[in-house]
A and B are shown apart, each in its own frame.
Chain A
């Protein structure tokens, strides 16, 4: 199962094969050790509620992280995801609270799902267009919407909190199927889909080729600009979905807060999960594991009485430690 997460450009494969199996699955071992530690130490850890709480907490980070993994696999980065979440989160209530949405409740809710996600995807496409058309560095290119995007969300709502109660729409954040939160199912579906795309499709190969060696990919006929535009658009779509989940959970939308700091959480999950920030090697399943590790460490500390501020410092140490270990074992 773990095998499915690892995807590498063929050229780099021989070096990686030499790694011992212990190192190769380091992130999975870390997660396992964390879980065993908690079973031994944390009171009431083994319960359905613990599983649900932790999975619910990571769902939005992982959903954003899926798009971020693909972007980073091409050697890029997307700083705008938090702001795009704010736009999508602001747009959905506007749609189903509008006169049209109230008159046609079913259609209003359907549009509230589709339109914000598409808008976020279009903003993502804008990122990709900007970066490829003007040869802008991804950090700078997505910085534009990082700054402007939240402003757009705030201007749309005039900075006001939108409070609502709409069970149909809020199913995405509060609903359960067979006891599993719906957002967790969305997360799992997206992870599976992205892992499949990355591993089994031409598009997935092209993503890794662009990140591995752009010049070589260009020479072998990979449509580099198209691939890049696509991954930024996908990242926007994922951020749009995550924005809907967040406002559905909160029963309210505050453009000042939705997705704040999400770009860094998602990047941290991607890095801890074992995706190289320089591109060319990516694992979507790893991103999910990385997010789970970060979340579980925080949960462990809080459940054992460590203040949240200290948990931040520990989180920093984990990010550095995890990336250092991966770096070390990728060299041997």
Chain B
């Protein structure tokens, strides 16, 4: 239940049954759409459910899943992180540079690079009080510039003498290692959101920061930490990027931030914060990824020939439909969180 159901700050007991039912439905809706798409693919294409397609699909999309998980937490706290794509590129360069010293060194270098970006974003947002949109926009430029400086304006080859490339290309128990990493991250993320004080604090801060501050919640610390989390996860995605394609790529990651925002929105998490689901975000990532996958199969059938350019048109149209469907279901939800309307007190309490 915790995987796909929406989690709102301090929900226990105060919400009427109808709203709970709505939330459960809203979470399942993404999952239902995902299942319909999978069934469609399985019926229509021969090798769609073949091990090769599934495993390479998961291996590739695990990077986006990790970035979107961090984005989900930032958005639930009421912020946004535009720097994730550039941070992943920076981390891929750092990981590639450290890869001759082994798997752990590469992994640590990438995640540390991402965490540093997150620390910078978090400090600027909390200490200087600059809007997350502007802060992380600047963070994106800084990360991109640093990546190019570290890489000397070219891709950096990964060392094949160490086990580092296993992080992207290896398997464990017949399952790609990147997919394992993403799975573990999502399980931890779901537990953190649903069963820890940190998760409740994130939603309370996103729902109404002033109320959260009055309740004595460590608003700045929570805000700071979600950016560090997002940066670190983007760093891990960058490590996987370097290991999977054998090179640190300073120019990769363009548009990842908006893709992951789209995935979070498709998953039903409100951009105004205070409400969200980790599992639905994963469904959103898989859904957007599947559109591309199915398009490839459709071209393989040879009946119609859609150029790869159609994928962005279809993704955009899909986001459009999802947003319309979402606004019809929960017309009252956005108003609670809109910035000119005070939040009802019962949504932000901690006793």
Contacts and interface: CB of A to CB of B under 8 A. Distances in A.
Interface of A: 77, 79, 130, 134-137, 139-141, 143-152, 154-155, 158-159, 213-215, 260-261, 264, 267-268, 271, 277-278, 307-313, 315-317, 319-320, 323-324, 327
Contact of B131 (A137, A145, A277): A277
Q: Is the interface of A mostly helix, strand, loop or mixed?
A: helix
Contacts of A277: 131, 133-134
B149 A143 contact: no
B316 A149 contact: yes
Contact of A137 (B153, B272, B310, B340): B272
Interface string B330-351: 0100110001110000000000
B272 A143 contact: no
Given A145-B316, A147-B262, A267-B137, A324 B142 contact: no
A154 B139 CA distance: 29
A223 B311 CA distance: 37
Contacts, number: 148
Contact of A319 (B137, B148, B262, B331): B137
Contacts of B319: 140, 143-144, 147-148
B280 to A, nearest CB: 15
Given A144-B317, A158-B307, 11 more contacts: A140-B265, A140-B323, A143-B262, A148-B317, A151-B309, A155-B310, A215-B341, A309-B153, A320-B128, A320-B134, A323-B130
A312 B149 CA distance: 10
A56 B137 CA distance: 24
A105 to B, nearest CB: 30
A151 B128 contact: no
Given A143-B262, A143-B265, A148-B315, A312 B145 contact: yes
Given A154-B312, A155-B310, A320 B135 contact: yes
Nearest to B288: A147
B140 interface: yes
B138 A320 contact: yes
Contacts of A143: 258, 261-262, 265, 319
Given A149-B316, A155-B310, A214-B340, A264 B149 contact: no
A157 to B, nearest CB: 9
B130 A320 contact: yes
A316 B141 contact: yes
A316 B148 contact: no
Interface of B: 80, 82, 124, 128-131, 133-135, 137-142, 144-149, 153, 254, 258-259, 261-262, 265, 271-272, 307-317, 319-320, 323-324, 327, 331, 334-335, 339-341
A11 to B, nearest CB: 14
B340 A215 contact: yes
| Most-contacted residue by chain B among A215, A312, A324 (CB, 10 A) | A312
Contact of A324 (B128, B316, B335, B340): B128
B145 A309 contact: yes
Given A214-B340, A327-B129, A309 B134 contact: no
A313 B307 contact: no
Given A140-B271, A268-B137, A312-B145, A151 B312 contact: yes
A309 B149 contact: yes
A156 to B, nearest CB: 9
Contacts of B146: 309, 313
A148 B149 contact: no
Contacts of B316: 144-149, 151
| Most-contacted residue by chain B among A137, A144, A271, A277 (CB, 10 A) | A144
B320 A150 contact: no
Nearest to B141: A316
Contacts of A151: 309-316
Nearest to A267: B137
Given A320-B134, A320-B135, A323-B130, A144 B145 contact: no
B137 A148 contact: no
A137 to B, nearest CB: 5
A322 B18 CA distance: 48
B272 to A, nearest CB: 7
A319 B134 CA distance: 8
B231 to A, nearest CB: 15
B80 A139 contact: yes
Nearest to A312: B145
Contacts of B135: 320
Nearest to A77: B133
A315 B324 CA distance: 37
A53 to B, nearest CB: 22
| Most-contacted residue by chain A among B142, B261, B309, B341 (CB, 10 A) | B309
Nearest to B128: A324
A148 B312 contact: yes
Contacts of B323: 130, 134, 136, 140-141, 144
A315 B141 contact: yes
Contacts of B128: 320, 324, 327
Given A135-B334, A271-B134, A309-B148, A320 B313 contact: no
B153 A148 contact: no
| Most-contacted residue by chain A among B141, B323, B341 (CB, 10 A) | B141
A110 to B, nearest CB: 29
A307 B334 CA distance: 45
15 contacts: A135-B331, A137-B334, A140-B319, A144-B320, A151-B314, A155-B313, A159-B307, A159-B308, A215-B341, A309-B148, A316-B142, A319-B137, A320-B128, A323-B130, A327-B129
